[in-house]
Amino acid sequence: MVSKTSTSFLFIFFLFLGFSLQAQDGESLFKATCAACHRTTSKKLIGPGLANVHEKRSIEWFKKFVTSSQSLINSGDVDAVKIFEEYNKIIMPDQAFSDAELNALYEYIKSVSPAKTDIATTEIVEEEEVPFEPTEEDIFIGRNLFSGIQRLENGGPSCISCHHVRNDDLVAGGGLAVDLTDVYDRLGKDGIGGMITGLPFPQMKISYQDHQITEAETLQLVAFLKEVSEQRYYQGITSYKNTLLIWGISGAAILMGIFPLIWYKRKKESVNKRIYERQIKSRN
């Protein structure tokens, strides 16, 4: 027979094992989905640092925000609205996690959060980061990568296909995604790098998951976007609306002038007259 002590030990062992496996699942979920925008420390990235989120937000609130942040914001939730406003109204993509996955994610963040006594020290260290000062070469290559003049190493589409930046050296970019002119001011080096490598948005993931942008290319793109942010006030606003209108009117005028000239002679003589003349000539 198994003693009560052994039974208790086995219960505790399997309980601990369950929490351990749950934490591992939460870690993989966090690294695959959340790490592009968040840290498990108090450091801000694209979104807030998640250290000790379990002490600030209930698990029910956490689940609602992760699965549909905009629904929670639109409901008037004070905390959700405050976070949305503080982080430049960047919309967090909805995550289709199961309830078990959300529990695992919450427990993982809880397990790796620093103790309160360590938070102040961590924040001081983070404030001493070296400023990002890109070279002219990195900026130049980044501009070429962004515009598609230079292909990305792994064959991904150029950024300008979907994004626009205010830069006199480039044509206007696509309008399928957000304008990146001031993105460096909003997200900084780590934030932009997290976006590029983490692919948090569905369209980015489709475009680049099999064509990952390299670490060197990420740095060069960030260097270019930093330059764009700094120089945006000295650049013109690229717009093709008036140009397309002028060319459209000019093209229509030219065509309206050419077609009458082509058909002018035919208008003077009917088709039947030419057939009649050919018949008379053949008889002679």
pLDDT in tens, 19-31: 444 445 888 888 8
User: Do 150 and 139 meet the contact criterion of CB atoms below 8 Å apart?
Assistant: no
Q: Give the residue numbers spanning the domain of 91.
A: 12-127
Q: How many domains does the chain have?
A: 3
Q: Are both 16 and 123 inside the same structural domain?
A: yes
Task: Give the integer Cα–Cα distance in Å for 221 and 171.
Answer: 17
207 backbone dihedrals φ, ψ, rounded to 5°: -75, -35
Asked whether residue 259 is assigned to any structural domain, the reply reads yes
Q: Are both 215 and 264 inside the same structural domain?
A: no
**In this predicted model, which residue has the larger pLDDT, 11 or 41?**
41
Residue 194 has a pLDDT of 83
pLDDT band at 195 (very low <50, low <70, confident <90, very high): confident
Q: Where residue 165 sits, what CATH number does that domain have?
A: 1.10.760.10
What is the pTM for the complete model shown?
A: 0.62
Question: 112: number of CA atoms within 13 Å, CB side?
Answer: 18
Asked whether residue 5 is assigned to any structural domain, the reply reads no
Asked whether residue 1 is assigned to any structural domain, the reply reads no
Q: Are both 16 and 118 inside the same structural domain?
A: yes
Q: Are both 53 and 97 inside the same structural domain?
A: yes
Q: How many C-beta atoms surround the C-beta of residue 233 within 10 A? A: 7
